[in-house]
Amino acid sequence: MDNNTTVKDLKMRVFDFCEERHWNKSHNPKDLSIGISTEANELMDLFRFKSNDQMKEMMKDEKKRERIGEELADTLIFSLRFAEMYSFDIDEIIRDKMIKNAVKYPKPEK
């Protein structure tokens, strides 16, 4: 459950999985970033040429939601692995990026 799991817990779960398979030598920045992109594209492909109504229906369909969740998970797993292997603090980089985004995309005036 999101409320009970820390980012560190997730990073360690991915770390342990990868360590058990001796994947360190193939997890360099280039290959991990390619993995992030590939998995994000697989997620995106699930929605290609779908109307808003079709996407709403997909989100209600248990099997389609499972498939969407799998691709979302793969994207997050590669991202967590990248962050863990190259010492990116996810909380810190998200906070920093959101500060920059707030400047780039200010709140609309009322």
pTM: 0.91
Q: How far is CA 13 from CA 5, 36, 63, 81, 94, in A?
A: 11, 17, 25, 10, 20
What are 16-67's pLDDT values in tens digits? 999 999 998 889 999 999 999 999 999 999 999 999 999 999 999 999 999 9
pLDDT tens for each residue of 56-110: 999 999 999 999 999 999 999 999 999 999 999 999 999 999 999 999 999 999 8
